[in-house]
Amino acid sequence: MSKVPLVRKAIVGATLAHNAPTNNPNPLVLDPTENQWTPAALERAGSTLKALNRMAKRPPVHILFEDVGFTTSTHKEERLILRNVSGEFRSGELTCVLGPSGAGKSTLLNILAGYTTKGVSGRITVNGHARDMRVFKKLSSYIMQDDLLQPRLSVCEAMRIAADLKLGKELGKAEKELIVEEILQTLGLWEHRNTRSEHLSGGQSKRLSVALELVNNPPIIFLDEPTTGLDVVSIRQLVVLLRLLSRQGRTIICTIHQPSASLFSLFDRVYVLSRGMCCYQGAAPLLVPFLTEVGQICPSTHNPADFVVETVASDPEASAEMSELCQNGKLCRKLDRMTLRGGRKPVLHSDESIQRIFVEHIAKEQMQKMEFPTTFLTQFLILTKRMFMQSRRNSITLWIQLIHHVVSAVLLGSIFLFVGNDAAVPIVNFKFCISVLVFFMYTYIMIPVLLFPLEVRMLRREYFNRWYGLKAYYAALTFSSLPVMVLFGLLFLVIVYLMSGQILEWDRFILFVFCAILIAICSEGFGLVVGSAFNATNGSIVGPATVSPLLVLCCYGMGFGPYIETRMKILMSLSYLRYGLSGLSIALYQKRTSMECHQDFCLYSDPKLILRDVGRILKVHKIELYGLEFAKVLHHISF
């Protein structure tokens, strides 16, 4: 019998037993007729995630913030986005941050999660200690509104990679498998485990985002607008799931646009923001009595969430009064006893026990001294494997690249047909070198300029949630692009080298290929810099616009090489392309016999003269060394 069915049986036995009478295979999908969070549903869901909680133990987290302000400044004005708001989010509770559009909900979440740090004032404490971002980032997960999933990976593959990166050596392979399966079962994704992420529905994608972040069992999870774009059923499933996660001792904070009345009742705590001020903080059932205190009577037929948002948005006076009454978040309306309708009680810890567990956890973290759960080498290997898998499955892109290389090679070869050994047209052969340079430059700059901005959005989530370091990511990215670059580049170069009739000597050809690949690697590094700083639209303007002057500088001096002015030489030394062009022309002309002359007189029969006159002066070995060093430096900078 295979291991997986055994594991599955062990984990979900109880769940399936519960589901049998209702014939409901997914513990979180409530019956269509079941419009409430019933004891049965809670019991079904509560029987899951046991392995995760047992194996990846984490301390509960209370987060307290006092007088948090956020100001943005432009050259024209300073804008106060958050006005000294206070509040507290506790473990075992599901909190909803409500407010009209532009109230500052995402800003508050960004600040609490540590995503925004500049321009922030106030105090944030975690379990009574000042927030230490190094520890806090390992304990928290932030699921952003526009989170993208890694394409071309199945649900199971994505989860396994997340487990390898986030759990490291903390757990063995079998335990990770168990956790992955348990989470997928709980989130109702097990039956879609072999579906690629790009084929998942909106609700399933959101659940996968949550599943990926759950792998290391973070005790605090922030979600920005997790329900955007989902239908009513998916929204309900997701909120029910979040409630289950909070019931197991986690602190879950999410912003939600207009929850329905039944959905609103699933939240333990509500935090209302308006114009950067806190207008209410406390238990969801106490919101309506609070509104009554400020003269805003919510009709019994009205959804309290809609009512409060409408009130604070349309009535600034009421909003100010509410803010004053709750002291901008300092006062929290609490239920005497946290009661759940028919469900299990949340795991609530005493403040003293939380303090003790947390201090122990910090001591353990400080002993480990590791910023990420895995070493650089492990991150590099896992990421390289993931990138190889993705590029292998992206067959259309590979075909396009292959056709691009072959067609361009045949075109270039036809233009420069058999010019390689003809002393009558030496400058034409030099132009051949420039054409090869331009091909590698544009091809390998434009790929990252167009594709990397999308990748950056995925990278942002994974890096922020401490999956891996940037060095490991860029090393894996460069390494994983090498095979395609070398293979297709070689194909291109074989075609153009033969068609243009260059001298057939192995060492010459190898040096020519080596220089061309170095140009490609440097150009890719340049493209990554542009792609990480600009979106695809701006990048496709900035990329070529930046590289064009470098191209001009690299070709300067053609025909009057020995007379290039010193200031121009200095400027030219800034262009990595110049070193590339020197390398290519040296590969073709250095130490070779005189070129064939089919006319009475050929000025450039001696290849040394060509090198001199096109500005590739004869200090050949020095140029080569500088070129390689500069290429290395440029590539490092791009890291």
Q: How far apart are CA 365 and CA 126, in angstroms?
A: 15
Is 144 or 423 the residue whose CB approaches ligand ATP more closely? 144
Rounded to the nearest angstrom, the gap between the alpha carbon of residue 191 and the centroid of all alpha carbons in its chain is 26
C-alpha pair distances (Å), 63 with each of 97, 123, 129, 222, 253: 14, 11, 9, 12, 11
Strand partners, 422: 596
State how far Cα 561 lies from the chain centre: 47
d(CA 612, CA 604): 10
For residue 575, give the 3-state DSSP assignment.
coil
DSSP one-letter string for 60-126: ---EEEEEEEEEEE-SS-EEEEEEEEEEEE-TT-EEEEE-STTSSHHHHHHHHHTS--TTEEEEEEE
Pairing relationship of beta strands 94-98 and 220-224 according to DSSP bridges: unpaired
- The Cα 394–Cα 389 span in angstroms is 9
Closer to ligand ATP by Cβ: residue 146 or 596: 146
Give the residue with the Cβ less far from ligand ATP, 106 or 195. 106
Smallest gap from residue 104 Cβ to ligand ATP (A)? 4
CB of 453 vs ligand ATP, minimal distance in Å? 19
- Comparing CB distances to ligand ATP, the nearer of 276 and 627 is 276
As measured in angstroms, the least distance from the Cβ of 204 to ligand ATP is 23
Q: Which is nearer to ligand ATP, 113 or 551 (CB)?
A: 113
Whole-number Å distance between alpha carbons of 20 and 431:
75
Which residue's CB is nearer to ligand ATP, number 83 or number 635? Answer: 83
**Shortest CB 273 distance to ligand ATP, Å:** 7
Which residue in 217, 145, 127, 207 sits closest to 178, CA to CA?
A: 217
- Residues in contact with ligand ATP by CB under 6 A are 72, 79, 81, 99, 101-107
The minimum distance between CB 75 and ligand ATP, in angstroms, equals: 13
Complex with ligand ATP: residue 104 or 426, whichever CB lies closer: 104
Q: Which is nearer to ligand ATP, 103 or 588 (CB)?
A: 103
Q: How far is CA 26 from CA 50, 52, 244, in A?
A: 17, 18, 14
